[in-house]
Amino acid sequence: MTSDSGSSDSATSDSASSDYTALLDLAVATARETGRMLIDKRPAGGPDVVATKSSATDVVTQMDQAAERLIRERIGAARPGDAFLGEEEGVTSGTTGVRWVVDPIDGTVNYLYDLPDWAVSIAAEVAGRPVAAVVEVPRRGWTFTATLGGGAHLNGERVRCSTDVPLGRALVATGFGYAPERRAAQARVLAGVLPNVRDIRRNGAAAIDLCMVAAGRVDGYYERGVQAWDIAAGRLLVTEAGGRVEGLGGVPAGNELTIAAGADLFGPLHDLLAPLDPARD
């Protein structure tokens, strides 16, 4: 797997794709087909683990690979010149200024265990900026969509982040990495968060956590160690739902730390996290 280079390949002009709706339609059709395939073709005894990444519990299944192949095929057939960044196969460069950022299965461990919270996450970026996004959660029947300036939606209904939630009443989602040292550090941070919020949720898929923030089904979310493909689509969902997605001190959200919340909760959640040194292992 090639790592994210951080910016869109050849992403120089908005004119290449001002039609965000067409990008969204392609993303939604592809995510739905992929979600159905992942349900229909999931082996009865569970998918085979074909590789591990950061630790023995950080797995890649044959279905992650099959899903990314299908997504690349469908998007490549419809838009052959676009760039692509996928969790399983890495970077493919392009010429159109559009880059697709794809997690074929976000929440792979949930998929492995046949738990429902896994998603197909597809975002289209223009000039490095997400403009269309879908997070398809097939086992829940949820299709989360957003376009830049067009709002965030769940199954076609407008969603918004929660508002007026004080930190002490905030339900906050988080996630943990796979490496033991990182988990020990994350446990330390969690010990500082837990007494100061309503409660914590750990659902196992960053893309869905971000959609839950966008829909006001949790109030906030933070996690260290997420990758570009985990958050590309969910980030647009949250910002289009009235929220903020950033790292510490205004740096862009990403691998170091991602914090998401409604506009008024974001500051208090950020300020709770900052002294806990959440971007260090």
Query: Rule CB under 6 A: which residues touch ligand LIP?
Result: 87, 103, 106-108, 175-178, 204-206, 223, 226, 230
Pick left, alpha or beta for residue 29 (phi over 0 → left; psi -120 to 50 → alpha; otherwise beta): alpha
Residues paired with residue 262 on neighbouring β-strands, in sequence order: 243
Instruction: Provide the strand spans (E) within the chain.
Output: 49-52, 59-61, 83-86, 90-92, 98-106, 119-126, 129-137, 142-147, 151-154, 157-159, 171-174, 199-201, 220-223, 243-246, 258-262
Residues paired with residue 200 on neighbouring β-strands, in sequence order: 172
Single-letter amino acid, residue 66 = A
Q: Using the minimum distance from each CB to ligand LIP, give the nearer residue, 86 or 204.
A: 204
Q: Using the minimum distance from each CB to ligand LIP, give the nearer residue, 204 or 216.
A: 204
The minimum distance between CB 109 and ligand LIP, in angstroms, equals 6
Q: Using the minimum distance from each CB to ligand LIP, give the nearer residue, 223 or 246.
A: 223
The minimum distance between CB 175 and ligand LIP, in angstroms, equals 2
User: What are the C-alpha distances in Å from 74 to residues 77, 83, 87, 99, 208?
Assistant: 5, 13, 16, 14, 23
The minimum distance between CB 78 and ligand LIP, in angstroms, equals 24
The minimum distance between CB 202 and ligand LIP, in angstroms, equals 7
The minimum distance between CB 229 and ligand LIP, in angstroms, equals 7
Q: Using the minimum distance from each CB to ligand LIP, give the nearer residue, 20 or 229.
A: 229
Q: Using the minimum distance from each CB to ligand LIP, give the nearer residue, 143 or 203.
A: 203
Q: Is 179 exposed, middle or buried (0-12, 13-18, 19+ CB in 10 A)?
A: middle
Q: What whole-number distance in Å separates Cα of residue 270 and Cα of residue 281?
A: 18
The minimum distance between CB 64 and ligand LIP, in angstroms, equals 8
Residue at shortest CB range from ligand LIP: 175
Q: Using the minimum distance from each CB to ligand LIP, give the nearer residue, 169 or 202.
A: 202
Q: What whole-number distance in Å separates Cα of residue 8 and Cα of residue 97?
A: 7
